[in-house]
Structure 1
Amino acid sequence: MEQSHGDCQLPLGYDGVVRIRAVPHLVLRPEPQSQPTLLNPDIWQVLVGGSSENVAGNVPCRLEWIVTSDCFAEKRVPHRRETCLTPNGKGFMVREKDGEGMKPLVVSVYELGLIGTGRLGFRLEPLLFGNQPVEVKPGDAAAIPFDLGARIDFGLAPTELKSDWLPDFLERHVRGVQVGSLLQLKPDITNLFNGHLATLDLYPTPVEGVAPDEAATLHVEWEVGHPDAAKVLLWRVGFLAVRGGEKEVLNNRLAAIGGMESSSTLGFQYRLGITKKPKDAPPAPEKKKGDKKPPPPPPPMEGVFAEPRLALEVPRPRLKSFGVRLDGGRLGIRGSFENFNDSVELDLTVKTYVRVPYGEGWRVEELDDFFRNVLESTRLETSLPIQHTEKQYAAVTLCLPDDVSTLLAEIQTVTVTTRENTFEREVLNLKQLPRHYVEVLKKVPGLQVFAAIQPTSLANTREAPFWAVADYEASEPGKEHGFAPFEGGAFVSRVFANGVCTGNTVDLSGEAERLSSPIPIVPPELQEEFSLFVGTVCGEAIGQSEAAWKGVAHTIMNRVARRQEWVAHLTPTDVITKTGFDGRKHKNCEAARAYLKSPASSALEFREKLERLITAVTPIYMRMAGDGGDPVYFYSPAAQKALHAEKPTEYPSEKPGFVDQGGDKALVDISAEVLGGTKDDFRFYAFRYPEKNARMTRQEIAVARAQPPVAKGK
């Protein structure tokens, strides 16, 4: 023999029997083979062979595949059937056993889990004593290449996909790839998988060693090669949005896109899988009496799956600004995000808190609870110089109890939606509070107000920390910027926070001090008439300026108990109902009176204006604001002109008849004096000879009420 493969040593004097077993030493030199084309994923005939020495007859061997691909790392998969080394001229081939014979070596894409572009190496281990295995690495020349390309490309959704079937609330104007941008997923999958089912999981790149977040994973399914697949393959970056069967998007909510550490970018991964279409289960046999076992389940689906791959990286969304403001008695919040696409609409829950001095530190309390406690304690402590019933007391000082509850309920939970990366919301208008509310609040020293926001929870979804929705820079001691983590009414670590606070506070007591005004209180016995008075002014002039409101209010009050013209009309109610003030019949009058009864629960279109109107006309009604130039008539030129054109017989002129009345009742135009520089559609008139049309004295009015005179005319 040319080479020794083992030694045998015997002791001196050994007289036993020595049996020597000789086996051939195989020399295998795998070489590249001309591989048949892969046409069927289930049946791929491959050739493994090369030159050899001492291969005589079929030699059983163990075959193990060593596979690499651009879709997964190296893996080893044993061949499922028995194999043999068979002579092939001066070399060898690997074949499979087929009964008593042999057949070509066949593999299945699903058996080996092949997907993507890669190479098949292998390890051959002859099952013959004394022979060593031979291994071909995937990078060696004898390895077998395969091309089962399977990847996903990501691009902005084309315009043609956003015209007919795409819902309006999804992206319309894509400006770049950010969280919220609408992307068209473009599969690049070999035709060999046509008709198979593809599955795609998209999720934020997890921290090393942590499994992907199932609650933040988007799952999409489609049929490979189907012409309508593009309509399913849409993704709003960072959203759990998939298309339903009726052209609707389901589960359209933002994923928990945060990471454990802050970074400038946010990465997403995808995992692609391809499976055969499931076969229909055979019909279940008729159940016979005594049958206990259910029919066997259908066989599992065969499939191949790629390892996670990088989908894309986008700028990490961040909270850019968030503050509380107090402007003209209006308490509100304002903020902005960056790196969300403009189409993103986040629903946020806003909660307001107060920070009040407590010992050497501060106490945090919800704003509505604080209001309720302070107002209730003040109500019980306050004593009035005039005896009132409980109902009258509430009307004069606090407004009705139901209004208090309704008002406080409005600030218990406030929501806001971001629009184009910004959000703003008024939380409370101090001007809507009854006077006593403001008086109480201004007496609380150091009353600081701030707000907190958190993502609005959806049904059946876990709550994500705020930093997991949008990263932010947390404030720390000594820093003048950032936002404090907040949870359940307390400042906490960012790890445990489900919300974030405004970067500032505002002084509510100081604003209340500025808002405190000497507006008079209407006595309970006059409130019904005052309601009619305010409603009439609103019905006549809510669309005009504040000067016009005051002019109309003065006109009503200047007619009360006026000699000559309105001597029989001794109250504002008489003047309004009997001297032609049609504004009392307008729908705005009804809405204004409803507001006065219950400010917090009313729904008046001109609510903001009405607040200012009440402040402006209350002193006039209470005879604390003079006569405003003594207007006694007014009209709207535009309205009069329209009436003349519509009803020329009833309205023969574009000016009312009173404008040109003469004698002691002659008038003078005082519009400029009443309106100042405003351009209202009103003309106001006063008596030219006011001394001949003076107002009755209090004594004369008292006598007239006791013995009402006959009116001389309207």
Structure 2
Amino acid sequence: MAPTENAPGSEAPSTTCHLPLGYDGVLRIRAAPRINLTPERKDQPAPRDLNDWPVQIGGECRNVIEPIPCRLEWIIQGDSLADKRASHPRETWLVPKGKVFQVLEKDATGHRPLRVSILELGLIGTGRMGYRIEPSLFGNEAVEVLPTDPKSIAYALKADIRFSPLAPAFEEKFQKAIGLLGMHVGSGIQLEPDFCELFKGLQATVDIHPTPPEGLEPDEQARVRMEWVVGDSATTGRLRWKVGFASTPGDEEGEWNEDHLLATGGVESTPKLAFQYQLTLTRPPPPAPEKKEKSAQKPAAPLEQLRPLPRPALTVDRPRLTDFTVSLNNGELAIQGAFEGFHENVALDLQLTPYVLYTEGDTQRLEELGDYLEGFLLELLSERLSNAGDHSRAPRNEDFFFLATCSPDDIQTRLAPLENLSVTSRQNRFQHTFFNLKSLPREDVQALKKVKGLEVFVVLTPLPHGADKNVPVWAIADYAAREGHNASVGFAPFDSGAFVSRVFASGVCSSNSVTPSGHIEALYSPMPVVPADRREEFEIFVATICGEAIGQSPTSWAGVAHTIMNRVGRKYEIWERCLSAAEIIQNTGFEAYQKKIYQEAIQCIRAPAHSQMKDRDKVKAIIDVVTPIFMRQAGNMGDVVYFYSPKAQSDKGRSTPAFVSQGGDKTLVCINNQLFKTAPEEKRPDDFLFYAFKYPEKWPHQTQEELRQTRKARAEKKSA
């Protein structure tokens, strides 16, 4: 025996036992046979029904003499569900027979073959089931057969939906030849379910909605739902969908109910618009028993469900606003516009609101044209009445004519065409005449032309349908937003009487403005803007990046922005509890938050024209760079999660941050060469070092379901 200084039991168990010289205690040795299991591939019988699939697991074994209890866990991979593990719901045993074994279930009479419930395991689509066998005997390790191993168990439970063009009989052959090519928002689609026999009789529900940007939930306001019984040809024949519409088939051929467009798009600018479908299969509840005594009634069994992952439905050209201009020709104020990407039968209802932009003192003001003209003309009326009553000068014929034909009621009658304006886009085009200046007295028109800096433009927004909320133009059709004062293309985003960025906009301005004298000047949107309910979070996000990196390059601005967004909801320390960019900034060590430059940037974001900030042009440039990052439309920039400034650390007498040298699963790697594309020996363009996890798979983001549950728990705790 080798000498040792320690007494028995002072260290973790090992294969070598050390005893001190002279030890006269009792030594207990615990031993168990080492079981050796070698699973083999088995031919599996076909499933009998959704709750009874007899499967076989077995192979060669050593040191197994009698049945031994074991734990069985299924390892499932498939094309229609997320990878998962699930324990077998019933007691299982290793049952030997000579040098081979089987895994069987325990029942009252002994052992029986394994039974798998397709509904319990949620199996759907095509995939494989691996397994893990863990003997309940001390000292024996589990044996795993992964789904990628040929010894795993394959399953094929088809549950697909095909999307085919819906066309009149005379077009049917042509449409079948081109498939889904030429489909647009508003095109008719026939849904063709394709399910395996086992699913026959289940209640099927399909939700179709635009595919959301990565990391975001589907828009429930844009969802279309259809329900039918699998295998019922009478109901599946009515599974028709109008792309992008809340439409269901009517009683007559070609008739649609709830025939209005949904919010099909988003703030992202993409050439294509993708749709996906979410399928749910549910076992119908048992028939209600005949009425008996209340005490004899039993509670209904819980519904069993299969819910595969969302799958692609189809992709169409993204609708776009291509033309929207205002004109003032021969005294008539009118607009015209055009879309592309809608089916020619789409009739899109739009709200039009003309505005004026005028100078008052040293500032410019915005006002609806109807309100402005009413005030302007009433003021002229007051002046004319005063002049008509002036006995110090001789009366003029035009004064008497004016008094005879103009009153406050006359003014409101003339301006009535500017109220409740709407237009319908048909075959992708729309036009409307608002107002004829010739309906005003000539003197009023002359006075109006003299108003300093007066410009007229028009704002377009979609009309709401029923109880639906009004959605912004970009939610149904993309458009190029004007970003510069000298830009010659694009449209100015608009909301609540102010020019904003496309992200916050509820409407879009005509691509030009007109003056009463006929001069046309381009509108300018001074800053980009984000959905109204996230505006405060966006301001915190941008102002923090300004405070951290305003003196650096656009690459560093993007690096700081990605650092914030890559932490949100990540399963790492406190980050897991931070579900927004603002919470990450407020809780994970961003030093610029709430400092002077942060406060200046906040004021500049809210009112750029009145900001005294020295670098306000950089604030606008930062907004342009980081907006797509905030909206999760710009990747993850190498999955950057940390950064610091060596110069700032040195100036403050600090050492290198502790996170740089953290090890184990938390090890970081510097990715500056990847971000700035410079060789190690070259000088860095910025005073920033950016880091990513060496093992990012150890720190995944929460899934959408986990995020949903976290938000739900937080809301319940807050309301309690």
Any conservation in 1 of the 2:267–2:474 contact (CA below 8 Å)?
no
- Given the alignment, which residue of 333, 336, 340 partners 1:334? 336
Distance 1:406 1:58, change over 3 A: farther
**1:271 match:** 278
- Give the distance between the partners of 1:193 and 1:89, measured in 2 at CA: 40
Counterpart residue type for residue 465 of structure 2: L
Aligned to 2:316: 314
Give the 3-state SS of the residue equivalent to 1:111 in structure 2: helix
1:457 aligns with 2:473: no
Match of 1:666 in 2: none
- 5 Å-filtered alignment, 1:137-176, equals 137-160=146-169, 176=182
Q: CA 1:133–1:505 in 2, change beyond 3 Å: closer, same or farther?
A: same
Does 1:181 find its partner at 2:190?
Answer: no
Counterpart selection for 1:226 from 229, 232, 245: 232
Aligned letter for 1:299? A
Give 1:204 deviation, angstroms: 1.7
In 2 relative to 1, CA 241–161 (structure 1 residues): closer, same or farther, beyond 3 Å? farther
Cross-structure match for 1:81 = 90
Note the C-alpha offset of 1:501.
0.5
Asked if structure 2 preserves the Cα contact closer than 8 Å seen for 1:324 and 1:334, the reply is: yes
Q: Deviations over 1:582-615 (max 9, x none)?
A: xxxxxxxxxxxxxxxxxxxxxxxxxxxxxxxxxx
> Which residue of the other structure, out of 54, 59, 82, is the alignment partner of 1:45?
54
List per-residue Cα deviations over 1:270-319 (Å, max 9, x = no partner).
2212111122444676679xxxxx98863321011111222222222211
Q: For 2:479, what is the secondary structure of its paired residue?
A: coil
User: What whole-Å deviation, never above 9, does each CA across 1:497-526 have from its counterpart, x for those lacking one?
Assistant: 100111112222459xxxxxxxxxxxxxxx
Report SS of the residue matched to 2:190.
strand
What is the correspondence of 1:149-298 to structure 2 with a 5 Å cutoff? 149-160=158-169, 176-243=182-249, 249-282=256-289, 298=300
CA deviation profile, 1:202-229 (whole Å, cap 9, x unmatched): 2222222222221122222111111123
Aligned-pair CA distance for 1:418: 0.8
3-state SS of paired residue (1:372): helix
**Residue of structure 2 in register with 1:70 after alignment:** 79
Matched, 1:502 2:504: no
Aligned residue for 2:429? 422
Q: 1:160 to 1:9 in 2, by over 3 A?
A: farther
The separation in 2 between residues aligned to 1:12 and 1:161, in whole angstroms, is 101
* Secondary structure of the corresponding residue to residue 346 of structure 1: strand
Q: CA shift at 1:353, angstroms?
A: 1.3
Determine the C-alpha separation between the residues in 1 that align with 2:53 and 2:326.
68
Q: Is the 1:84–1:97 Cα contact (8 Å) retained in structure 2?
A: yes
1:348 aligns with 2:350: yes
- Structural mapping, 1:387-406, within 5 Å: 396-398=404-406, 401-406=408-413
Q: Could you say which structure has the larger radius of gyration? A: 1
Cα distance in 1 for residues equivalent to 2:497 and 2:30:
86
Distance change (3 Å), C-alpha of 1:296 and 1:326: farther
Q: CA deviation at 1:159?
A: 2.5
Contact 2:328/2:518 (<8 A) preserved: no
| Cα offset, 1:161, TM superposition | 11
Please tell me whether the aligned partners of residues 321 and 335 of structure 1 are also in contact (alpha carbons under 8 angstroms). Answer: yes
Answer yes or no: is the 8 Å Cα contact 2:482–2:490 preserved in 1: yes
Gaps of 5+ in 2: 1-13, 173-179, 389-393, 520-720
CA deviation after TM superposition for structure 1 residue 413, in Å: 2.2
How far did 1:49 drift?
Answer: 0.9
Cα gap change, 1:15/1:355 in structure 2, threshold over 3 Å: closer, same or farther?
Answer: closer
Letter in 2 for 1:334: Q
Q: Cα distance 1:460–1:454, how it changes in 2: closer, same or farther (>3 A)?
A: same
Q: 1:77 and 1:499, CA in 2 relative to 1: closer, same or farther beyond 3 A? A: same
- Residue 369 of structure 1: SS of its match in structure 2? helix
Q: Per-residue deviation at 1:437?
A: 4.7
Question: Which residue of the partner structure matches residue 475 of structure 2?
Answer: 468
Distance 1:467 1:479 in 2: 20
> % of aligned pairs identical?
46
1:512-661 alignment runs, 5 A limit: none
User: Displacement, 1:25?
Assistant: 1.9
Is the CA contact (8 Å cut-off) linking 1:397 and 1:436 kept in structure 2?
no
CA distance in 2 between counterparts of 1:432 and 1:231 reads 57
Q: Deviations over 1:61-81 (max 9, x none)?
A: 100001111102321111100
Q: Distance in 2 between matches of 1:458 and 1:312?
A: 25
2:130 and 2:145 in contact (8 A); partners too: yes
- Superposed displacement of residue 394, structure 1: 6.6
Contact 1:176 1:341 in 2 (8 A): no
With over 3 angstroms needed to count, the CA separation of the structure-2 counterparts of 1:405 and 1:273, relative to structure 1, is same
Residue 324 (str. 1) matches residue 331 (str. 2)? no
| CA displacement at 1:446 relative to structure 2 | 4.5
**SS of residue paired to 1:428:** strand
Supply the distance in 2 between the matched residues of 1:402 and 1:457 (Cα, whole angstroms): 31
- Structure 1 residue runs of 5 or longer lacking an equivalent are 164-173, 289-293, 512-714
SS of the residue aligned with 2:415? helix
Distance in 1, Cα, partners of 2:83 & 2:169:
42
Deviations 1:348-400 (A, max 9, x none): 10001122233345322211112211211111211346699x9x8677332x6
Pick closer, same or farther for the CA change 1:393–1:297 going to 2, 3 Å. Answer: farther
Aligned mates of 1:459, 1:285 — CA distance in 2? 44
CA contact (8 A) 1:472 1:482 kept: yes
Of 298, 304, 311, which residue of structure 2 is paired with 1:302?
A: 304
What is the one-letter code of the residue matched to 1:84? W
State whether residues 199 and 222 of structure 1, in contact with CA within 8 Å, keep that contact through their aligned partners in structure 2. Answer: yes
Deviation at 1:36, TM superposition (A): 0.9
What is the CA-CA distance between 1:231 and the residue it aligns to? 3.8
CA shift, 1:483, in A, is 0.6
The Cα shift of 1:175 comes to 7.8
- Aligned residues between the structures: 491
Matched letter for residue 383 of structure 2:
E
Instruction: With the length of structure 1 as denominator, give the TM-score of the two structures.
Output: 0.64
C-alpha distance after superposition, 1:220-242 (max 9, x if no partner):
21111111234432222222323
CA distance in 1, matches of 2:138, 2:447: 100
Is the contact between residue 446 and residue 509 of structure 1 (CA under 8 Å) also seen in structure 2?
A: no
Q: Deviations over 1:509-559 (max 9, x none)?
A: 459xxxxxxxxxxxxxxxxxxxxxxxxxxxxxxxxxxxxxxxxxxxxxxxx
Name 2:699's counterpart in structure 1. none
With 134-143 and 298-307 compared, the bigger mean Cα shift is at 298-307
Deviation at 1:343, TM superposition (A): 2.2
Cα offset, 1:100, TM superposition: 4.6
1:222/1:232 contact within 8 Å kept: no
Partner Cα distance (1:366, 1:338) in 2: 29
Output the CA distance in 2 between the equivalents of 1:295 and 1:447: 77
User: In structure 2, do the counterparts of structure 1 residues 243 and 440 end up closer, same or farther at CA, with 3 Å as the change threshold?
Assistant: same
Report the equivalent of 1:487.
Answer: 495
In the alignment, the residues of structure 2 paired with residue 431 and residue 260 of structure 1 have an alpha-carbon distance, to the nearest angstrom, of 41
1:103 lines up with 2:109 in the alignment: no
Q: In structure 1, how many angstroms separate the alpha carbons of the residues matched to 2:237 and 2:471?
A: 30
Q: What CA deviation, in whole Å up to 9, does each residue of 1:648-679 have, x standing for no partner?
A: xxxxxxxxxxxxxxxxxxxxxxxxxxxxxxxx
Q: Do the aligned partners of residues 21 and 363 (structure 1) sit closer, same or farther apart at CA in structure 2, a change above 3 Å counting? A: closer
Match of 1:375 among 355, 374, 377: 377
The 2-side partners of 1:235 and 1:99 are apart by 52
Q: Secondary structure, in 3 states, of the residue corresponding to 1:314?
A: strand
**Deviation at residue 436 of structure 1 after TM alignment:** 5.6
Cα-Cα RMSD: 3.1
1:239 and 1:255 in contact (8 A); partners too: yes
Residue 130 of structure 1: CA displacement?
1.1
